[in-house]
């Protein structure tokens, strides 16, 4: 078997695998310590690579960070996209809140790296916020307005209602340290879901 044919795919596979390992490690470290609080060495150690080897895959520290952010944002929008104007508002919104809470509990680092980025002025994702995110919100604002116009839910300010859902659901990822400190021990997922859904949705019932 000729070397050239055998090696090319193998290299790609290793590359692909290493990139995934790096992104996973980088997410955890960036999320815990912030952009400048993170050293390339920390990421390399967590990924099981040497620092120069890691920098072979991503030339600069910032490149790793941007790759992690983009990878995370892709997942982030999925639940909101699924909000269906044809469905029952309370079922749709309950599902959305439930999925966002699931994400917060399952992957706090993903929420935190995003929170950290915005907290510091979102220098790397301005375009994303003003483009795809804004368009998606505008689309779902229409969905909520439609439900209001159809008399299915009480009138509410749609964009601020979306902000409220984001704020409350992500609170359980970003501020879990505080939640646990104040509660003593964290409540179960099911209890949190019930409480949050009631707080955010009961006021919409006719």
Binding site for a second copy (CB under 8 A): 32-37, 112, 115-116, 118-122, 126, 129-130, 133-134, 137, 154, 156-157, 159-161, 163-164, 166-168, 170-171, 174-175, 177-179, 181-184, 187, 191-192, 194-196, 198-205
| Contact partner at residue 78 from a second copy, DNA, none, CB < 5 to 8 Å by partner kind | none
Nearest distance, CB of residue 45 and DNA, angstroms: 11
CB closer to DNA, 37 vs 155:
37
Q: Binders of DNA: how many residues, by CB under 7 A?
A: 21
- For the purposes of burial, counting CB atoms within 10 Å of the CB of 153, is it exposed (0-12), middle (13-18) or buried (19 or more)? buried
**69 contacts DNA (rule: CB under 7 A):** no
Of positions 23, 28, 29, 38, contacts DNA by CB under 7 A: 38
Question: CA triplet 106, 118, 56: central angle to 5 degrees?
Answer: 75
Of positions 6, 12, 81, 195, contacts DNA by CB under 7 A: 12
CB closer to DNA, 61 vs 100:
61
Quick one: tokens of 55? 């920098």
Q: What is the DSSP string of 40-102?
A: HHHHHHHHTS-HHHHHHHSSSHHHHHHHHHHHHHHHHHHHHHT--TTS-HHHHHHHHHHHHHH
- For the purposes of burial, counting CB atoms within 10 Å of the CB of 2, is it exposed (0-12), middle (13-18) or buried (19 or more)? exposed
Contacts to DNA from residues 47-66, by CB under 7 A: 49-53, 55-57, 59-62
Angle separating helix axes 158-174 and 176-183, nearest 10 degrees: 70
CB closer to a second copy, 11 vs 127:
127
Nearest distance, CB of residue 7 and a second copy, angstroms: 41
What CA–CA distance (Å, rounded) separates 29 from 79? 25
**41 contacts DNA (rule: CB under 7 A):** yes
């Amino acid at each position: 078997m000729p070397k050239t044919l055998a090696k090319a795919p193998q290299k790609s596979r290793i590359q692909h695998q290493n990139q995934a390992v790096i992104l996973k490690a980088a997410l955890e470290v960036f999320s815990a310590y912030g952009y400048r609080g993170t050293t390339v060495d920390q990421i390399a150690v967590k990924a099981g690579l040497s620092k120069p080897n890691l920098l072979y895959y991503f030339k600069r520290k910032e490149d790793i960070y941007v790759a992690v952010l983009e990878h995370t944002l892709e997942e982030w929008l999925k639940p909101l996209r699924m909000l269906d104007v044809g469905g029952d508002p309370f079922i749709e919104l309950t599902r959305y809140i439930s999925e966002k809470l699931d994400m917060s509990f399952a992957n706090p680092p993903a929420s935190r790296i995003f929170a950290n980025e915005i907290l510091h002025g979102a220098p790397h994702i301005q375009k994303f916020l003003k483009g795809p995110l804004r368009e998606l919100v505008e689309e779902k604002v229409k969905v909520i307005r439609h439900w209001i116009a159809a008399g299915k839910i009480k009138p509410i300010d749609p964009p601020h209602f979306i902000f409220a859902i984001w704020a409350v659901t992500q609170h359980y990822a970003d501020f879990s340290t505080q939640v646990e400190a104040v509660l003593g021990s964290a409540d179960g997922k099911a209890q949190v879901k019930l409480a949050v859904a009631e707080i955010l949705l009961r006021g919409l019932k006719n």
